[in-house]
Amino acid sequence: MEDKRILVIGAGGQVGQELVFNLREKHGANNVVSSDIRDFGDQAGPFEVLNALDKERLFEIVQQYKITDVYHLAALLSATAEKQIEFAWDLNMNSLFHVLNLAKDGHINRIFWPSSIAVFGPNTPRENTPQHTTTDPTTVYGISKLAGERWCEYYHQKFGVDVRSIRYPGLIGYKTLPGGGTTDYAVDIYHQALKSGKYECFLKEDASLPMMYMEDAIRATIELMEADGSRLTIRSSYNLGGISFNPKEIAAEIKKIIPEFEITYQPDFRQKIAESWPSSIDDSFAQNDWDWKMEYDLRKMSEDMIKQLSKLS
C-alpha cells in the first residue's frame, strides 16, 4: 500500500471529527492532518487553522506535510446557506476549485468531496431514486452540491483528476448534538427518549427519508477512497441508500427498548423540505463498483444509539 499523507479540510464538523479519528487509526496519527477555520481542540495529531478559501495557505500545508489525499468537507450547510446565499456559493464552490486545481497541477493524488441528497428536487422520482435522474435542487446548498458534482466529473474527464464523491443521506450519530436540520429529528428523538421519554416530531408520521448511521457513512467514505479507480464508473457522486424510515417506524423501534416512550406530531416548515427529497435511494452503482454493503439497519442503529447515549448521559 502506498504511503498516504492525508489532509481533512473542515475537520471540526459532524463527519470530519469521526473521519479523522478513523483515518488516524488506519494510517497513524501523524499521517493525518486535520484543519478547520478555527481550532476545535484536536490534540490527537497534527492540526492547522485553515480558511478553505485561502488557496495560498492551503498550498503551504500541502507542501509542508507532503499531502497525497485531501478530504474536502468544508461547506456552508443547508439552513445556514439559505441565510447567506452569495457567501455559501463562494465558499462551497471556490474552496472546491482550489482543491481540484491542486490535483490538476499534480500536487496531490486523490480527492474526496461529499455531495448530498439535497441535489434532488420536486421532479426527482421519490421512490428508489436512480443514480442518473432529474436533479432540480430547491436550496442554496443543493444547488452548490449539484454544481460541484458537475465540476468533479469535468475535472476527471478533462484533466484525469482522481476525485471521488458520495451523495450522503441524512446522517445519524451519537457524538454530536442535532443541529436543527430536516433529518436531525432522527438524532434528537433518541436524546429525548432517554431524557424525558417523549418526543414532539416536526415531521408527519409517514415522512420517509433516506438516512445512514454515521459508522456506515465513514466506512463508505474510506472504502470508496481505497477502491480500485479503474472500477469506478461515477465521477460526479455516488448514490448511497442507507436506511429509509419514517418517524412512526423509528418510534416503534425505540419502544422495543424503552416501552414507555411516546411520540406526538407537530409538522412545521421542515415537512415541506422533506417532501421535496427522495424517500429511498437506489445505490446499485456503489454496490457494483466498490462492493458497498450497509451494516446498520434501523434496529441495529437504534440499539447502538441508545446504548452509546446511555453511556454518555
Q: Would you please indicate which residues are annotated as catalytic (active-site) residues? A: 141
Identify the CA nearest to 244 among candidates 211, 273, 206. Answer: 211
SS3 19: helix
DSSP state of 44: S
Interatomic CA distance for residues 110 and 102, integer angstroms: 10
- Which three cell numbers mark 42? 484536536
Please provide the size of the chain in residues.
313
- Confirm if 111 and 85 have CB atoms less than 8 A apart: no
- Which three cell numbers mark 173? 450519530
Q: Give exposure, 6-28, as e/b (b: 16+ Cβ within 10 Å).
A: bbbbbbbbbbbbbbbbbbbeebe
- Which three cell numbers mark 207? 415522512
Interatomic CA distance for residues 75 and 221, integer angstroms: 17
Rg (CA), the chain: 19
Backbone dihedral angles phi then psi of residue 18, each to the nearest 5 degrees: -70, -35
- Which three cell numbers mark 193? 427518549
SS3 129: strand
Interatomic CA distance for residues 208 and 105, integer angstroms: 43
Beta strands in the chain (DSSP E): 6-9, 32-36, 47-49, 69-72, 110-112, 115-116, 163-164, 166-168, 170-172, 198-201, 209-213, 238-239, 243-245, 262-265
